[in-house]
């Protein structure tokens, strides 16, 4: 299967390097869902990579495939020099202690029958980290760092906390094993706007305190801009554009990226809705279009877009796009 290329992959010791990742789900006689179709990206130490796109584009499946929750059909997932797709069961279990995930629904990701403090402490018990007293001290410290009272957590279950508090608890649970990389799968999409800001600020503070590397998956570009160093845009299982956050928002090159930016609401009822408009719904991942997958909805599409899949190419310093007719012309690359 043709991919979108790897021109955007960087030299150096990446914490995570994904190449030609494909994830498919067979539907029997109805065909196969092509959830992720040959994407590549890397994440450098201390960096936050944002992955954005509308619902159904494959971004959450990508995060789950990195952890091997969903088994990739093909491709490689190299974490700290080891390809996770080639590890044995026990080797993969150990590698996962250094990659944690914060799930989209904070309440359902916690066991409703367990006290919250026990849920946060459970990873330490499973891996027998330190003495029981040391584990308890670590759990209390991490809960305090995310703004949860350890005494209340010791007596309460998830349903006794708000959604924002449950997300803080999920973050605490992800930190206790001292991970290198945390995959945040739409961690604020189910929260109120004011709570979203609190959780985002918390992630930024914890990233600095614990020396974390983050993958931040979301459909809200306004949220991603505030937390990401680099942003990758996905559409129907493919990468459209990869750039630094400031460059992507300042001069989007792919028509789909422009559509996503134009869809960010402005908190002013007097401002007219304007910008690039597209018609129709995303095509089915069971029968994706030929060539550029965005061509059925793209106002710039022509015969080349229908026949030939675009490959990633540089249009500036650390700015790459997979489009035959980018909105931004190439600039000098130093």
pLDDT at 118: 95
SS3 letters across 291-318: CCCCHHHCCCCCHHHHHCCCCCEEEECC
Low-confidence ranges of the chain (pLDDT < 70): 1-3, 267-277, 328-334
Distance (Å) of CA 56 to CA 38, 60, 283? 16, 9, 10
pTM, 2 dp: 0.91
Q: Cα separation of 261 and 250, whole Å? A: 10
Phi, psi of 27, deg, nearest 5: -115, 25
Q: Cα separation of 254 and 243, whole Å? A: 11
pLDDT at 1: 36
What are the chain's domains?
1-98+180-189+218-267+274-334 (3.40.50.300)
pLDDT at 47: 96
- Please say whether the beta carbons of 202 and 146 come within 8 A: yes
pLDDT at 275: 60
Q: For residue 254, how many C-alpha atoms fall within 13 Å in the half-sphere facing its CB?
A: 31
Phi-psi region of 273 (alpha: psi -120 to 50; beta: other; left: phi over 0): beta
pLDDT single digits (tens) 155-214: 999 999 998 899 999 999 999 999 999 999 988 887 777 788 888 889 999 999 999 999
- Please say whether the beta carbons of 276 and 259 come within 8 A: yes
Q: Pick from 330, 327, 294: which is nearest to 53 by CA?
A: 294
pLDDT at 268: 65
pLDDT single digits (tens) 71-82: 999 999 999 999
């Amino acid at each position: 299967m043709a991919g979108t290329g790897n021109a955007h992959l960087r030299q150096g010791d990446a914490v995570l390097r994904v190449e030609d990742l494909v994830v498919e789900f067979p539907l029997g006689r109805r065909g196969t869902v092509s959830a992720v179709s040959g994407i590549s990206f890397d994440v450098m130490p201390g960096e936050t990579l944002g992955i954005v796109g509308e619902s159904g584009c494959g971004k959450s499946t990508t995060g789950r495939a990195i952890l091997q929750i969903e088994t990739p059909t093909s491709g490689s997932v190299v974490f700290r020099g080891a390809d996770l797709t080639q590890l044995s069961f026990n080797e993969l279990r150990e590698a996962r202690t250094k990659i944690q995930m914060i799930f989209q629904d904070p309440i359902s990701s916690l066991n409703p029958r367990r006290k919250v403090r026990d849920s946060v402490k459970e990873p330490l018990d499973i891996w027998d980290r330190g003495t029981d007293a040391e584990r308890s001290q670590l759990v209390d410290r991490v809960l305090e760092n995310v703004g949860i009272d350890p005494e209340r957590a010791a007596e309460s279950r998830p349903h006794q906390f708000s959604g924002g508090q449950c997300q803080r608890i999920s973050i605490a649970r992800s930190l206790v094993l001292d991970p290198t990389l945390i995959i945040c799968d739409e961690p604020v999409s189910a929260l109120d706007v004011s709570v979203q800001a609190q959780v985002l600020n918390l992630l930024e503070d914890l990233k600095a305190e614990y020396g974390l590397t983050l993958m931040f998956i979301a459909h809200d570009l306004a949220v991603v801009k505030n937390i990401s160093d680099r942003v990758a845009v996905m559409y129907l299982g493919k990468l459209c554009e990869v750039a630094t956050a400031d460059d992507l928002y300042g001069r989007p090159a792919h028509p789909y990226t422009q559509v996503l930016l134009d869809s960010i609401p402005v908190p002013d009822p007097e401002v007219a809705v304007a910008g690039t408009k597209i018609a129709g719904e995303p095509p089915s991942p069971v029968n994706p279009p030929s060539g550029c997958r965005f061509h059925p909805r793209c106002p710039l599409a022509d015969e080349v877009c229908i026949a030939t899949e675009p490959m990633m190419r540089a249009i500036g310093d650390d700015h790459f796009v997979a489009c035959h007719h980018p909105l931004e012309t190439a600039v000098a690359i130093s």
